[in-house]
Amino acid sequence: MSTLETTGTALAGTSLFTPITVGLNQLANRVVLAPLTRMRSSEGGVPNDLMAEYYSQRATPGALLIAEATLVSPNGHAYAGAPGILNEEQLEGWKKVVNAVHDKGAIIFLQLFHGGRQSHQDLQPDGGVPIGPSAIPHNNLVCTEDGWVPATQNREATIEEIHSIVDDFHAAANRAKQAGFDGIELHGANGYLIDQFLQDGSNQRTDEYGGSIENRVRLLTQVVSRMVDVYGADSVGVRLGPSGRWGEMSDSNPLELFTYAVEQLDKFGLAYLHLIEPRVFGNVDRDDLVEPVAAVQLRKVFHGPIIAAGGFNGQGAADIIGRGDADLVAFGRYYVANPDLVRRLREGLPLNPYDRSSFFGGTEVGCTDYPFYSNNAELV
């Protein structure tokens, strides 16, 4: 790392650094660590000391961290090296992470997911075929032990398998609570299973989980209901990616679909709604040239806190919060490269540049070796 980016002016006096209540938690600021797939768990998907250090570095008093997408079903695996919460060993590993974050005075939610068709037979139990809502050919890439390879074409999930996955989310929520997480988030975006059921480009079923928008939203609300049974609505969040195309996703009427989905979520009284703006990589070439629109549109139908994510810098985050279109902003790549991002944004300090090549998998390089800002040196 030879150069520093600048944050611009200090943002201490902006809405980005005002307190807010999210569910049961009083937060000191609106800067959120986005759930970022880092693929650095130990064998068997067990969270380890490296992960505990990574989250601890980014924890500050009253900050909200959302831990990376975590596997809830054996057949939901989407990335080699991604963690799970399927068994006691994984639960114990997550306890180390939670304790390290709590020791710094921060709040941490766990994101739960099922990869659905975003998988490969090498990641499946006994080399099986991944499941999805419909057996529709696609050209996704999946990270296995042999690197990024074409996904194994999925088969259509049976009703019994769908019900089993709903149970898996419930069981994972229970384990997350045992591990001490302050809350949980359902990953309903980025072309994973919940998103696959929502969007009609991937869901062409004709039963109660397909066809109409009401049917395609059914799995989302069933899973949320079971998660709420464990944690209470005020400790559950949901992440959606309206109009997101990552993972070869598409829908014939995304505005109607996601408006209806969010209307149903609003009835739960959730801790928050987490929205990925449809300007992120995979949808556009440069996210800084496209204005955020998802939070603006869905603020009309969701009455709880909204976290906006995707392509924000510090000033952009302060602006969307100042306008009232979102309440918090989740940062990804900047938080990866700057463990002290909260301080750097608050004081207008230079930012470490991020190394995209080390985002997915590897060692401490690109994970826990990014420097904290030093008042005594330009670059440490």
Residues that are catalytic: 192
Query: How many Cα atoms within 13 Å fall on the side-chain side of residue 357?
Result: 2
Letter string b/e over residues 7-25, b meaning 16 or more CB atoms within 10 A of that residue's CB = beeebeebbbbeebebbeb
DSSP letter for each residue of 183-235: EEEEEE-TTSHHHHHHSTTT----STTSSSHHHHTHHHHHHHHHHHHHH-GGG
Contact in structure between 275 and 259 (CB atoms under 8 Å):
no
Q: What share of the chain is helix, strand, coil (3-state, %, to 5)?
A: 35, 20, 50
Q: Within 10 Å of residue 245's Cβ, how many Cβ atoms?
A: 18
Amino acid at 86: L
Q: What is the three-class DSSP state of 156?
A: strand
Letter string b/e over residues 308-340, b meaning 16 or more CB atoms within 10 A of that residue's CB = bbbbbbbebbbbbbeeebbbbbbbbbbbbbbbb
Sign of the dihedral through C-alpha 240, 244, 245, 246: negative
Taking the C-alpha atoms of residue 254 and residue 251, their distance in angstroms, rounded to an integer, is: 5
DSSP letter for each residue of 244-303: --TTT---S-HHHHHHHHHHHHHTTT-SEEEEE-TTSBTTBS-GGGS---HHHHHTTT--
- Residue 34 structure tokens: 């986005």
Taking the C-alpha atoms of residue 77 and residue 56, their distance in angstroms, rounded to an integer, is: 26
Element housing 342 (H / E): helix 341-347
